[in-house]
Copies of this chain bind each other. A is one copy, B any other.
Amino acid sequence: MKTPTSGYQRPASLTDAAMHYCAGCGHSSVHKLLAEVLDELEIRERTVGVAPVGCAVFAYFYFKCDISEAAHGRAAAVATGIKRALPDRIVFSYQGDGDLAAIGLTETVHAANRGEPITVIFINNTVYGMTGGQMAPTTLAGQITATSPTGRNPATMGCPIRMCELLNTLEQPYYIERVALDGHGGMVATKKALLTAFQTQVSGKGYSFVEVLSPCPTHFRCSPQDSLKFVGQKMAAQFPVRIFRKEGVPVHA
A171 vs B158: C-alpha distance in the bound complex, in angstroms? 8
Q: Is B114 within 8 A of A161, CB to CB?
A: no
A72 at the interface (CB under 8 A from B): no
Shortest distance from the beta carbon of A250 to any chain B beta carbon, whole Å: 11
Q: In the complex, what residues of B have CB within 8 A of residue A105's CB? A: 105-106, 109-110
Chain B contacts of A155 at CB under 8 A? Answer: 115
Contacts of A156 in B (CB 8 A): 114
Residue of B nearest to A141 (CB): B171
- State how many copies of this chain the complex holds: 2
Cross-chain contact of A158 among B103, B137, B159, B172 (Cβ < 8 A) = B172
- Contact status B137-A159, CB under 8 Å: no
Which residues of chain B are near A102, meaning CB under 8 Å? 106, 110
Which A residues from 161 to 186 make CB contacts under 8 A with B?
161-162, 165-166, 168-172
Check: A86 CB closer than 8 A to any chain B CB. Answer: no
Q: Cβ of A154 < 8 Å from any Cβ of B? A: yes
Chain B residues, Cβ within 8 Å of A137: 110, 113
Q: Per a CB cutoff under 8 Å, which of B104, B158, B161, B170 touches A161?
A: B170
Chain B CB within 8 A of A41 CB: no
Out of B159, B162, B168, B172, name the residue touching A159 (CB < 8 Å): B172
Interface string of A117-156 (1 = CB under 8 A from B): 0000000000000000000010000000000000000111
**Distance A156 CA – B83 CA, assembled complex (angstroms):** 12
Q: Report B-chain residues with C-beta under 8 Å of the C-beta of A158.
A: 110, 113-115, 170, 172
- Please report A residues at the B interface, Cβ cutoff 8 Å: 102-106, 109-110, 113-115, 137, 154-159, 161-162, 165-166, 168-172
16 A–B contact pairs at CB < 8 A? A102-B106, A105-B105, A105-B106, A105-B109, A105-B110, A106-B106, A113-B137, A113-B158, A114-B156, A115-B154, A154-B171, A159-B172, A161-B170, A162-B169, A165-B169, A166-B169
